[in-house]
Amino acid sequence: MVDLSVKLAKVHLPNPLINASGIYGSDIPDIIKTAEAKTGAVLYKTTTIEERNGNKVPRYWQDELFALNSIGLPNKGYKYLIQITPEVKQKTTKPMITSLLGFSFEEYITLCKAYNDSAVDIIEVNFSCPNIEGKPQAAYNFEYLPKLMKACREAAPDKPLFAKLPAYLDPSQRKMVAKMLIDSKFQGVTLINSLGESLLVNAKTEKTYIRPNNGLAGLTGKAIKPVALGNVWGFYNLLKDSGIQIMGVGGIECGLDVFEFILCGADAVQIGTAYIRQGTAVFEKMENELIQIMNEKGYTSLNDFRGKLKIWGD
C-alpha cells in the first residue's frame, strides 16, 4: 500500500497535490470545487487589502508549452476570504491555505495579523507577483525582504508561514534568501512563481498576446519546469537541515513531474496551468500516475525518495 500523506508544518494532507494560487480559490463554490477534487489541500487566490478587478483583458494566453498571465490580482479582498473560511470548513475537512500580498510593508503586516487570527491553516506570503505595474517584487529587493519576512513572522506567530518566491538564477541570491528564511523562522517556501517580464509575440498580427504592462507578463506552463526544479533542488540543499519545507510549482503536468519535484526535495507540489487545461480531474490522474511510479519502484511513502536525487557519476 502506498501512503501519499504529507505534513506541512503540523498540518496533515492526504496527498501532496495542491492547486497553485492565482487561478481558482476566490469564493466558496470555487474553493469547494477544488476541495472535492483529489487535492491534499486548497490554496486561495492571492488576496490584497482592497477588492480588485485586476488588469485589462486580454490578460491570459496559452499554448501547449507556455502560458502567459498578467491577471493583476483580481480578488474580493482579504476580509471576504476570512469571513467565508469557517463556512468552507464546515463543508470540507481539507486544510485551507491562504495567499496574501501587500502593496506596502504596512499592508503585509495588516494581512498577516488578520490571517493569524482566522480559521486558515497555513499562510502563503506572496513576495513575487510580477504583474502590478510600478510595484516591484519584494522578493528581488534583498534589503527590504529580510525586514519584511521578520515583520510578517512577528505579525503571524500562530500560523505556519510559507514564502512564495520567484526564480533566482544565481546561487548567491539563493544563499541570501535561504538565510533570510531561516533567520525569520518561516516554516516553508513555495518555488517558483511565474517568470516575470516574459514576452510571447504573435508574428502573424505583429502584436503581443496580452495587453497589460506593454505585453510583458508572467510565464508558466511546461516550459518553466527546469527552472522550477533547479530552484527546488538548489533551495533543498540549503534548507534540508533547517526543517524548512518546500512546495514545488512550475510546469507540473503529470505524476512523473510530481515524482521529479519530490525527488528534488519538494514536500508538496502545486498545480496551476495544468489545472486550467485539464480541470479538476488532473489531481486524480496525477495521484494515480504517482502511485503507479512508486509501485514500480517499490516505494511506499514519499519519504522513501524525497530529496534523494543522485548526481550523475556518483
Q: Is 190 in the site for ligand DHB (CB under 6 A)?
A: no
Give the span between the Cα atoms of 283 and 299, in whole angstroms. 20
Give the span between the Cα atoms of 6 and 16, in whole angstroms. 6
Residue nearest to ligand DHB according to CB distances in the complex: 71
| Placement of cell 495587453 in the chain | 211
From the candidates 129, 152, 254, 264, which is the catalytic residue?
129
Q: Is 131 in the site for ligand DHB (CB under 6 A)?
A: yes
152 tagged catalytic: no
Q: Is 194 in the site for ligand DHB (CB under 6 A)?
A: yes
Query: Measured from the CB atom, is 8 or 73 closer to ligand DHB?
Result: 73
Nearest C-alpha neighbor of 100 from the set 115, 119, 85: 115
Phi, psi of 170 (to 5 degrees): -140, 135
Q: Is 73 in the site for ligand DHB (CB under 6 A)?
A: yes
Q: CB of residue 70 vs ligand DHB: minimum separation in angstroms?
A: 6
Residue of 39, 193, 208, 231 interacting with ligand DHB (CB under 6 A): 193
Give the span between the Cα atoms of 60 and 312, in whole angstroms. 39
Q: CB of residue 69 vs ligand DHB: minimum separation in angstroms?
A: 6
Distant-in-sequence contacts of 293-298, Cβ < 8 A, 24+ apart: 293/255, 293/256, 293/259, 294/2, 294/259, 295/2
| Binding string, residues 21-40; x marks residues near ligand DHB by CB under 6 A | -x------------------
Q: Is 273 in the site for ligand DHB (CB under 6 A)?
A: no
Q: Is 213 in the site for ligand DHB (CB under 6 A)?
A: no
Q: CB of residue 82 vs ligand DHB: minimum separation in angstroms?
A: 18
Residue of 16, 40, 95, 218 interacting with ligand DHB (CB under 6 A): 218
Q: Which triple of cell numbers denotes residue 199?
A: 514576452
Calculate the alpha carbon distances from 245 to 63, 169, 303 in Å: 32, 20, 13
Residues 38-67 that bind ligand DHB (CB under 6 A): 46
- Interior CA angle at 78 toward 181 and 27, to 5°? 115
Q: Is 72 in the site for ligand DHB (CB under 6 A)?
A: yes
Asked if residue 192 has a cis previous peptide bond (ω within 30° of 0), the answer is yes
Q: CB of residue 213 vs ligand DHB: minimum separation in angstroms?
A: 10
Burial label for 76, CB within 10 Å (0-12, 13-18, 19+), is middle
Query: Measured from the CB atom, is 139 or 293 closer to ligand DHB?
Result: 139
Query: Measured from the CB atom, is 69 or 187 closer to ligand DHB?
Result: 69
Query: Measured from the CB atom, is 39 or 131 closer to ligand DHB?
Result: 131
Residue of 48, 126, 184, 231 interacting with ligand DHB (CB under 6 A): 126
Q: Which triple of cell numbers denotes residue 219?
A: 510565464
Query: Measured from the CB atom, is 121 or 124 closer to ligand DHB?
Result: 124
Residue 51: other Cβ atoms inside 10 A: 13
Task: Report the catalytic residues.
Answer: 129
Question: Where do contacts with ligand DHB occur on this chain (CB under 6 A)?
Answer: 22, 46, 69-73, 126, 128-131, 193-194, 218
